[in-house]
A and B are shown apart, each in its own frame.
Chain A
């Protein structure tokens, strides 16, 4: 139905090229004051040494995770590794007990390389997401949860208009501008024909498109998706990931928790693998798909034996598993 491979990495490349060529962008400017986040260059996410505990139990233990600007990054790992938790921490829904989460206007340094200031190589502009006012954060990052549902008789258009919340006064209603943005978001998500339907009557794939449209109505620079293909049939999974790729190609950085490793291998530019541990989820590997989705990484994490095949037409990795 759709080829997920073309245009991969181009957006990320383009972004990094722009940054390195533009002298005005070098130097560590404060994004809050210069408001450079409003320009069109994609923004990345850089989470460092993030810790999160619940009732004294570590859920995330010093997790480093990055989402390069304009790329699709997959957050992988078995159940309980803390994928959803990490997304909620990046979205600012919960505050980590330690570590920091930055929005990065340029190439994201790999973990261990530091954020620039330690190295004296200030090529990236960053802004602390944890210190940002929540409404401003909601204008930069949108989160699509897993299985977000409502019992209310809400139309699709009204659901998408909720995405305008951070852009207007706390008590204000929909403006014409809000309606225009919502209509454009529905169009972008391929859900324009659903506008008048009730959310409760949609199929899984349709509902996912609507949630993506709601997130797009926030006009975010970063899209955080929690298992966007969960409970979808194969066609809807492919359609969803193809939509996600086209959004990334338009400059929206995507960080998606994913369960299906082959789907991640097809759709992601960059992957981060989390493993659950007795004292919290840790990152075991991060980087390009080809380097990370290999038996040496996956076998211990999932407790299986992995075989990596090549897709005959796209050349992308296809993963199969046997019991260890």
Chain B
């Protein structure tokens, strides 16, 4: 199957996933309710001759479930793209924003402002935290050896920075969090889109549309890194400029996403792998298809998170970790067999 066919399939699956996910929940809704609500709010209901929706189903679709599902889709798409870019630039198939300390850094930033009560600054703090963690990880990896970023060193550096950020986060919580702040920070640390509003959709979706699309266009550049920095440079690619530009893009995008969803792990790790098995390792196909797959994946992971133990809800990060950790282990196992 060729790339356009996969892309069409991915888009159809994503739209179907969004519609279906909105209908799933404690109150029974049908695809018709979703259609009526969406067309009416978009102002094309009359044009299409759609009967206006009832107030209650409409509120559930438009105010509660749709923003949540769309935020999940945007976060999933963005994290998958970030994962592909990080894996390519660090030449590490196990790299993802979570593993390289970005999410932990963002969490630390977020925990700090939540404790200080400055919730409005949360996206900024998450972004600053993500960037600081990325810089620390790459600096540590680069300083601990010469000749570019060796895969193993980068992961170890990410692990160290992530652990440090996690410890600092725990300290912040232990020292100064009170009452409700605990739950707020905890839900944030485990990743959740439960509180998503249209503002979340705008921030996460906007970041994906702007930064995610830009990153998804860099397939040929990322291809050049396949055999390492030296090979990329010998192919005429300005290695350092490309690497830092793309990594800053990844940090910006991760910061924006994590500010809305908390740190959701494993999406950026396992989705690119699955898509590679289908379409191969060339990035021009891999990037957009991973974005589509990541979006559908997180939509369903979030649907599971809110329905499995109904009426209790799980943070979606627990679901992605429950699926992702075994897959991660399988990848390690496979890598061991090959080496």
Contact = CB atoms under 8 A, between A and B. Distances in A.
Chain A bound to chain B = yes
A137 B93 contact: no
Interface in A172-202: 172-173, 200
Contacts of B238: 134
Nearest to B276: A153
B224 A165 contact: yes
A45 to B, nearest CB: 14
Given A148-B227, A153-B280, A200 B234 contact: no
Contacts of B284: 173
A221 interface: no
Interface string B70-94: 0000000000000000000001010
Contacts of A209: none
B85 to A, nearest CB: 14
Interface in A135-150: 135-139, 141-143, 145, 148-150
Given A54-B146, A172-B220, A158 B282 contact: yes
> In the complex, which of the residues B234, B276, B281, B338 has the most CB atoms of chain A within 10 Å of its own CB atom?
B234
Complex A-B, nearest 7 residue pairs according to Cβ-Cβ distance, in ascending order: A138-B236, A135-B236, A166-B236, A152-B281, A143-B234, A165-B235, A148-B227
Interface in B132-189: 146, 151
B223 A91 contact: no
Nearest to B226: A150
Interface centre among A153, A158, A162, A163 (most CB of B within 10 A): A162
Interface in B243-288: 276-277, 280-282, 284
Contacts of B63: none
B227 A151 contact: no
Interface of A: 54, 88, 91-93, 134-139, 141-143, 145, 148-155, 158-159, 162-163, 165-166, 168-173, 200, 218
Contact of B227 (A88, A145, A172): A145
B226 to A, nearest CB: 5
Chain B contact-residue range equals 20 to 34
B230 interface: yes
A91 B237 CA distance: 12
A173 B219 contact: yes
Given A152-B93, A154-B280, A154-B281, A93 B234 contact: yes
Contacts of A154: 226, 280-282
Given A93-B233, A153-B281, A173-B284, A159 B219 contact: no
B322 to A, nearest CB: 26
Nearest to B220: A171
B87 to A, nearest CB: 9
Contacts of A137: 236
Nearest to A168: B220
11 contacts: A134-B238, A135-B236, A136-B236, A142-B234, A145-B231, A145-B234, A150-B281, A158-B280, A166-B236, A171-B220, A171-B221
A135 to B, nearest CB: 4
B2 to A, nearest CB: 13
Contacts of A158: 280-282
Interface string B40-56: 00000000000000000
A153 B277 contact: yes
A11 B60 CA distance: 79
Nearest to B217: A171
A152 B233 CA distance: 19
Contacts of A159: 226-227
B197 interface: no
Contacts of A143: 230-231, 234
A218 B237 CA distance: 13
Given A148-B231, A154-B282, 11 more contacts: A54-B146, A91-B233, A136-B236, A139-B236, A142-B234, A145-B227, A152-B276, A159-B227, A162-B235, A165-B223, A172-B220
B326 interface: no
B323 to A, nearest CB: 21
Given A154-B226, A162-B227, A138 B234 contact: yes
Contacts of B235: 138, 162-163, 165-166, 218
Nearest to A200: B338
A145 B237 CA distance: 16
Contact of A92 (B217, B223, B228, B234): B234
Contacts of A155: 280
A163 B282 CA distance: 13
A166 B19 CA distance: 44
A80 to B, nearest CB: 14
A158 B221 CA distance: 14
Contact of B335 (A88, A151, A163, A166): A151
Contacts of A171: 217-221
A151 to B, nearest CB: 5
B3 to A, nearest CB: 10
A88 B233 CA distance: 10
Interface in B100-131: none
B124 to A, nearest CB: 31
B230 A88 contact: yes
A268 to B, nearest CB: 22
A141 B277 CA distance: 33
A150 B228 CA distance: 8
Contacts of A162: 223-224, 226-227, 231, 235
Which interface residue of B230, B237, B238 has the most chain A CB atoms within 10 A? B230
Q: Which of B220, B235, B237, B338 counts the most A-chain CB atoms under 10 A from its CB?
A: B235
Contacts of B219: 171, 173
Nearest to A139: B236
Interface in B204-236: 217-221, 223-224, 226-228, 230-231, 233-236
B271 to A, nearest CB: 15
B220 A150 contact: no
